[in-house]
Amino acid sequence: MTEQDLSDLDYATGYEKMHGVTDEREDYLRLLQYQLHRFDNHPAAPNSDKALVERLGDQKTILAEHGFDPTKEDHIFETVKVDFVHTTARIEGNTLSLKETGLVLEEDAVIPGKPLSEHLEVVDIARAFDLMVELVRNGTPVSEKAVLAIHDAASAHLDDCEPGKYRWDQRYISSSPIIPPPPARVPQLMKGLIAWAAKAEGPAIETAALFHLVFEDIHPFQDGNGRTGRVLLSFMLMSAGYPAVSLKADEAGIAAYYRAIESFTRDIEGRDGSAMVDLVAHRLEDSVGQRMLQLEQARS
């Protein structure tokens, strides 16, 4: 072991700084420190479709002026929820179809040939969605308490997970070379993310999409980060007056979603989340457009 100066390594222990580490360990600590620098940089979306985001904002304002409230669409609420739960679970690998998801949620059905875990998964995500809508109806902003409560509901039956509690161990993403932050930094990073979102002055769609990216990058829980993050995405959108957003759950849609996350996570200096902003905006374009059409038909 060669003479080392580890004084600049924030994540080396006191023992390691005093006695040294292997070359492999030093390389890991330096890589970790460099990668975690990404959380010092605010997320941005310089290359997103600004015109689309602005148009959606204008349409949302028109809908609001005519009484549209995404939390009071009782006539389609169950349809919106079932679609959201199905797509969110599908991204996690759940094999229940849209129809089967509806049967489980609306009729408490048991689908032959499908594992119990998949039934419990959609029930838990639905509980988290209901909780989120109730928070929006009450005017509750995104907070650490709300995040933990949503995770508690969404992850109730997950193995290797403590629902409603931040992770206590170091996690790694098998498909990515980017290392999530150490568990000791998670509470601080979550507080910082929530504070950033509360002060963000950009369009609500952009803020919600960027929040989602940073949340997934922090990876605050042992498991259930994806489903919790997508509920929070709709939480922020609905709080701003938009409908809940269901991401495309076909093979191409899921691939595009994960590419958007991966490109952001790897962009340590620029933190460009334009791809996710565009993905969310295009999904909202359909649902907002449908409501605009309904408004035009009602006025004609």
| Rounded CA separation 39/271 (Å) | 9
Please state the rounded mean pLDDT for residues 260-276: 97
Q: What percent of the chain has pLDDT over 70?
A: 99
Query: At residue 298, does pLDDT exceed 90?
Result: no
Residue 205 Cα distances to 46, 182, 245, angstroms: 14, 29, 11
Return the pLDDT at 40. 95
Q: Which two tokens stand for residue 60?
A: 């949302």
Return the pLDDT at 18. 83
* Residue 222: Cβ-neighbour burial (10 angstroms; 0-12, 13-18, 19+): buried
Please state the rounded mean pLDDT for residues 134-140: 97
Q: Are 287 and 235 within one domain?
A: yes
Q: Are 269 and 245 within one domain?
A: yes
Q: Are 34 and 132 within one domain?
A: no
Catalytically annotated residue among 119, 157, 219, 282: 219
| Domain containing residue 1 | 1-40
CB of 223 closer than 8 Å to CB of 171: no
Q: Are 225 and 290 within one domain?
A: yes
- Residue type at position 150: I
Q: Are 2 and 82 within one domain?
A: no
Reported confidence tier of residue 2, pLDDT bands at 50, 70, 90: low
Q: Are 199 and 226 within one domain?
A: yes
Q: Are 97 and 26 within one domain?
A: no
Name the domain count of the chain: 2
Q: Please indicate whether residue 175 or residue 88 has the higher confidence score (pLDDT).
A: 88
| Rounded CA separation 129/82 (Å) | 10
Sign of the Cα pseudo-torsion (135, 129, 255, 205, in order)? negative
CB of 32 closer than 8 Å to CB of 268: no
Return the pLDDT at 139. 96
Q: Please indicate whether residue 77 or residue 155 has the higher confidence score (pLDDT).
A: 155
Q: Are 30 and 115 within one domain?
A: no
pLDDT tens, 62-84? Answer: 999 998 999 888 778 899 999 99
CATH for 163: 1.10.3290.10
pLDDT tens, 6-25? Answer: 777 877 788 888 888 888 99
Q: Are 177 and 245 within one domain?
A: yes
Instruction: Supply the pTM of this predicted model.
Output: 0.93
Reported confidence tier of residue 3, pLDDT bands at 50, 70, 90: low
Query: At residue 126, does pLDDT exceed 50?
Result: yes
Residue 19 falls in the annotated catalytic set: no
Return the pLDDT at 256. 97
Residues annotated within the binding site for ATP are 223-230, 257-258
Query: At residue 1, does pLDDT exceed 60?
Result: no
Q: Are 203 and 96 within one domain?
A: yes
pLDDT tens, 156-203? Answer: 999 989 999 999 999 998 888 999 999 999 999 999 999 999 999 999
Q: Are 134 and 17 within one domain?
A: no
Return the pLDDT at 8. 75
Beta bridge partners of 272: 44
Q: Are 178 and 221 within one domain?
A: yes
